[in-house]
């Protein structure tokens, strides 16, 4: 590890302090991540924790506000039925950019391009750990009105992908069953799920990152929406750097339009 | 205060989830209403924050912070993001900054969050700073003002504001007894 020079140290601290107070734009965030990747000995969240402790001290919590009942109910409805700590790592960086609606148009073109490849009524022999398969089955029982969407993809790099998405607005959770996705090297890249919800925002919602072990065959992946989803229109999979990204440049590896 | 509530949440304990909402809902709501000028945005943000909390509960380390401070950190991340997005939208639309639109507060009978020793040490750390620097860090942390806005309102150079914010946070961190943030620096 190359020791830091003072100007470099100050730059990193300025970025960390800005992140902890006003947030960072895409370029600054990239710069900070680059610095931290080169210097993992830094406590990346140290100033955020300091700001949080200070905020707590400055905020008058002796007269607490009460959460309005409708809001409390909405929060509890959105609590996932499964442990959120299971399986997926969630990227927690800020969300700096706004997706253009053209992103959806590009996704729609991909759907049209692969429509001829999809064969309905594929059966899946789940090779995921039994607990995930059990959870999937239980989910379908608990949320019979969950939406289902056919997942399809065909890229020169990865070949044909096929699968199914099930999603419950009530649970704010769901699953992806898929086959054909090649194994990844987690230290180099990870797959990332996205939920397209134009009613909510132009940007797709991060559904979490996941890995495909070697010889995984068919896979079941829980969807953990990072933000509340109102009315999903499609689900997508991309491949990103380890930990995922806040804004994806694509390409879309597979797409599942709701209603397909 | 319950110990290990976030750990139970991370394990998927639904009763712990409800207790977490009851314990920290008021705090998160207060944070959101302070940061955001619109009641509807604040409520949306509160939902977003709790979804993030369910996902990140497993990362809570009691050796690094208290539960309330961890919850506050998660909340602040989301609120800062949202604030930046809203500011960009207003700039794009050419809108003036929103006037304050806070719904009536909901004073409640829910028990107050135990601020914990670390919060008291944090505020004690900045109490020793010159009054202007205290003002700067309060605006940055409590009010969520951007550094540029602080500089403009207080008629200070932006670099001065950034330095003061950095210095204050490092001071707070030191007061909390954390290990040095910075490794040994090359001369």
Evaluate if residue A110 carries a pLDDT over 60.
no
> Distance, in angstroms, between B128 CA and closest chain A CA?
14
* Model pLDDT, residue B159: 95
Distance CA A182, CA A162 (A): 12
Q: Which residues of B touch A17 (CB under 8 A)?
A: 162, 165-166, 169
Band the pLDDT of A102: cuts 50, 70, 90.
low
| Average pLDDT, rounded, for chain A | 76
Distance CA A210, CA A208 (A): 7
Query: Which residues lie closer than 8 Å to A240 by C-beta, 6 or more apart?
Result: A189, A190, A191, A192, A209, A248
Give per-residue pLDDT as tens, B38-83: 888 999 999 999 999 988 898 898 888 889 999 999 999 999 999 8
CA B62 from centroid of its chain's CA atoms: 18
Give per-residue pLDDT as tens, B95-113: 555 444 444 444 443 345 5
Chain A to chain B, count of Cβ pairs less than 8 Å apart?
267
Distance CA A178, CA A151 (A): 8
Question: CA dihedral defined by B77, B79, B81, B83, rounded to 10 degrees?
Answer: -150
Q: Are A94 and B48 in contact (CB under 8 A)?
A: no
Among candidates A57, A20, A19, A21, which has minimal Cα distance to B27? A57
| A4-5 and B185-186 beta bridge pairing | parallel
Distance CA A244, CA A231 (A): 23
Helix, strand, coil % over all residues of chain A, rounded to 5: 30, 25, 45
Q: Are B33 and B39 in contact (CB under 8 A)?
A: yes
CB contact under 8 A, A79 and B52: no
CB contact under 8 A, B51 and A78: yes
Interface probe for B, chosen from A28, A40, A55 (most Cβ of B below 10 Å), is: A55
Q: Confirm whether pTM is higher than 0.80.
A: no
Closest by Cβ to A50, choosing from B66, B138, B169: B169
Give per-residue pLDDT as tens, A214-258: 756 678 898 988 777 888 999 999 988 888 888 788 788 888 888
Distance CA B166, CA A14 (A): 6
Distance CA A25, CA A92 (A): 15
Give per-residue pLDDT as tens, A17-61: 999 999 998 899 889 988 888 887 788 899 999 999 999 888 865
Q: Which residues of B touch A5 (CB under 8 A)?
A: 185-186
ipTM of this predicted complex? 0.87
CB contact under 8 A, B50 and A81: no
Among candidates A243, A182, A180, A237, which has minimal Cα distance to A213? A182
Q: Are A18 and A96 in contact (CB under 8 A)?
A: no
Distance CA A60, CA B119 (A): 11
Closest by Cβ to B64, choosing from A16, A49, A54: A49
Interface probe for B, chosen from A9, A32, A65, A226 (most Cβ of B below 10 Å), is: A65
Structure tokens at B18: 């409800």
> Distance, in angstroms, between B1 CA and closest chain A CA?
15
Distance CA A175, CA A210 (A): 12
Q: Does B142 touch chain A (CB under 8 A)?
A: yes
Closest by Cβ to A4, choosing from B10, B166, B186: B186
Closest by Cβ to A49, choosing from B73, B120, B123: B73
Interface probe for A, chosen from B135, B141, B159 (most Cβ of A below 10 Å), is: B141
> Distance, in angstroms, between A35 CA and closest chain B CA?
13
| Average pLDDT, rounded, for chain B | 83
Give per-residue pLDDT as tens, A144-203: 888 888 888 776 666 677 888 999 888 888 999 988 788 888 878 888 999 998 887 778
> Distance, in angstroms, between A189 CA and closest chain B CA?
21
Distance CA A135, CA A189 (A): 26
Evaluate if residue A99 carries a pLDDT over 50.
no
């Amino acid at each position: 590890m190359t020791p830091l020079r003072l100007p470099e140290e100050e730059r990193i601290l300025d970025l960390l302090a800005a992140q902890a107070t006003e947030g960072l734009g895409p370029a600054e965030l990239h710069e900070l991540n680059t610095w931290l990747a080169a210097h993992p000995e830094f406590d990346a969240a140290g100033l955020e924790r300091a700001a949080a402790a200070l905020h707590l001290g400055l905020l008058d919590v002796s007269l607490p506000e009460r959460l309005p009942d409708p809001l409390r109910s909405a929060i509890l409805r959105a609590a996932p039925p499964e442990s959120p700590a299971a399986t997926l790592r969630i990227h927690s960086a800020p969300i700096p950019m706004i997706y253009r609606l053209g992103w959806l148009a590009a996704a729609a073109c991909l759907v049209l391009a692969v429509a001829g490849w999809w064969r309905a009524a594929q059966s899946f022999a789940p090779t995921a750990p039994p607990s995930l398969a059990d959870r999937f089955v239980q989910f379908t029982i608990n949320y019979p009105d969950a939406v289902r969407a056919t997942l399809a993809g065909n890229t020169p790099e990865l070949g044909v992908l096929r699968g199914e998405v099930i999603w419950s607005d009530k649970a704010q959770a769901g699953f992806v069953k898929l086959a054909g996705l090649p194994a990844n090297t987690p230290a180099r890249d990870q797959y990332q799920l996205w939920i397209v919800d134009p009613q909510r925002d132009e940007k797709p919602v991060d559904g979490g990152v996941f890995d495909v072990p070697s010889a995984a065959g068919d896979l079941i992946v829980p969807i953990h929406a990072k933000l509340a989803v109102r009315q999903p229109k499609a689900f997508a999979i991309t491949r990103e750097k380890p930990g995922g990204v806040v804004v994806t440049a694509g390409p879309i590896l597979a797409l599942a339009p709701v209603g397909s | 205060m319950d110990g290990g509530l976030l750990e139970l949440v991370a394990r998927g304990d639904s009763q712990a989830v409800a207790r977490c909402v009851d314990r920290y809902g008021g705090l998160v709501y207060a944070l959101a209403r302070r940061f955001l000028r619109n009641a509807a945005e604040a409520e949306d943000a509160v939902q977003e924050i709790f979804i993030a909390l369910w996902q990140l509960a497993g990362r809570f380390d009691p050796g690094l912070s208290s539960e309330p401070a961890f919850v506050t950190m998660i909340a602040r991340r989301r609120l800062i993001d949202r604030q930046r997005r809203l500011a960009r939208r207003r700039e794009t639309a050419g809108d003036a900054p929103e006037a304050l639109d806070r719904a009536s507060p909901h004073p409640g009978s829910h028990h107050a969050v135990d601020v914990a020793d670390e919060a008291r040490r944090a505020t004690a750390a900045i109490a020793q700073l010159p009054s202007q620097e205290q003002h700067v860090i309060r605006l940055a942390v409590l009010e969520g003002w951007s550094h540029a806005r602080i500089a403009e309102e207080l008629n200070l150079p932006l670099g001065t504001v950034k330095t003061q914010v950095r210095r204050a946070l490092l001071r707070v961190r030191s007061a909390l007894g954390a290990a040095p943030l910075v490794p040994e620096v090359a001369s």
